[in-house]
Amino acid sequence: MKILLLEDDTMLGELMVDHLRDQGHEVHHFVDGEEAEEAVLSDRYDLLLLDVNVPGIDGFELLASMRARKDMTPAVMITSRNTSGDLKEGFDLGCDDYIKKPFEFTELDARIEHIARVYNIRKNDVIALGDEIFFEPYAHRLVVAGETVMLTPKASEILHHLYKNAGRIVSREELVGSLWAYDEAPTDATLRSYIKTLRKYVPNIVTERGVGYGFEPG
């Protein structure tokens, strides 16, 4: 899941980023509301975690601005406030949930999982390929050390097929037959180009010359 975190408490923010990345999420952390707003205008996120009290544009103002633009990205408000008025304001603006400081990461995970179920966000489709390498096959993207790498649909399908057949060499004929059933078969050079691109980010991919390709579990 690709998450925007707006949290100006540096220590808490860093702990949240570390925890969420350990869970396989891609996290973009901002301490200032104006920078966060620039990010949501230029990028797409699966979930927003918005602190209510931050410099510049606060979490409420950012959410209001997004909803006014018909941006309905799911949002969870983070607050140290404890009044029903604040809760009502957030829900009136269109937030999906609240989490109150201090909180346990198990509670944070539970709220994120609830959002994922409600919006059918496929958190379980995040595959750990290695140290800080995560693969989202249906979103066609890799997250490498917290940075997103977008793949072409065909490159994503190749990587997914190799992963599902980890530990054995998949022949060129099998790959082509499985992934190009109704398309024109690729040339050897095209297939090698896909593998070369994937190997830049996923060192587990191996080649057995004249036979095919494989994914070696780490």
Measure CA of the first residue to CA of the last residue in the chain; give whole Å.
23
- Say if residue 8 is in the same domain as residue 112: yes
- Say if residue 165 is in the same domain as residue 118: no
| Any domain includes 133 | no
% of residues, the chain, pLDDT over 70? 94
- Say if residue 101 is in the same domain as residue 197: no
pLDDT, residue 83, reads: 61
pLDDT > 80? residue 8: yes
| Any domain includes 68 | yes
| Any domain includes 170 | yes
pLDDT, residue 84, reads: 63
pLDDT > 70? residue 19: yes
% of residues, the chain, pLDDT over 90? 58
CA-to-CA distance for 59 and 193, rounded, in angstroms? 44
- Say if residue 162 is in the same domain as residue 207: yes
The alpha carbon of 54 is separated from its chain's Cα centroid by a whole number of angstroms, namely: 24
pLDDT > 70? residue 85: no
Q: What CATH code is carried by the domain that includes residue 208?
A: 1.10.10.10
- Say if residue 107 is in the same domain as residue 175: no
- Say if residue 86 is in the same domain as residue 156: no
* Higher per-residue confidence, 85 vs 19: 19
pLDDT, residue 39, reads: 92
pLDDT > 80? residue 26: yes
- Say if residue 114 is in the same domain as residue 159: no
| Any domain includes 140 | no
Q: What would the pLDDT profile of 189-217 be if each residue is shown by its tens digit?
A: 999 999 999 999 999 999 999 899 999 98
pLDDT, residue 181, reads: 65
pLDDT, residue 70, reads: 86
pLDDT > 90? residue 105: yes
pLDDT, residue 183, reads: 67
pLDDT > 80? residue 81: no
- Say if residue 87 is in the same domain as residue 158: no
Q: What CATH code is carried by the domain that includes residue 18?
A: 3.40.50.2300
pLDDT > 80? residue 24: no
- Say if residue 53 is in the same domain as residue 105: yes
> pTM above the 0.85 mark?
no
Q: What would the pLDDT profile of 126-176 be if each residue is shown by its tens digit?
A: 888 988 899 988 778 899 988 889 999 899 999 999 998 999 999 999 999
Of 82, 105, 124, the one marking the end of a domain is 124
- Say if residue 156 is in the same domain as residue 115: no
| Any domain includes 132 | no
Q: Look up the domain containing 169 and give its range.
A: 152-215
| Any domain includes 144 | no
**Which of 91, 57, 67 minimizes the C-alpha distance to 77?**
91
- Say if residue 165 is in the same domain as residue 209: yes
The alpha carbon of 104 is separated from its chain's Cα centroid by a whole number of angstroms, namely: 22
Q: In whole numbers, what is the pLDDT of the chain averaged over residues?
A: 89
pLDDT > 90? residue 82: no
Number of domains the chain contains = 2
Q: Write out 153-192 in H/E/C secondary structure.
A: HHHHHHHHHHHHCCCCEEEHHHHHHHHCCCCCCCCHHHHH
| Inter-residue contact 134 to 126 (CB < 8 Å) | yes
Taking only Cα atoms into account, the Rg of the chain, rounded to an integer number of angstroms, comes to 21
Burial (CB count <10 Å: 0-12, 13-18, 19+), residue 114: middle
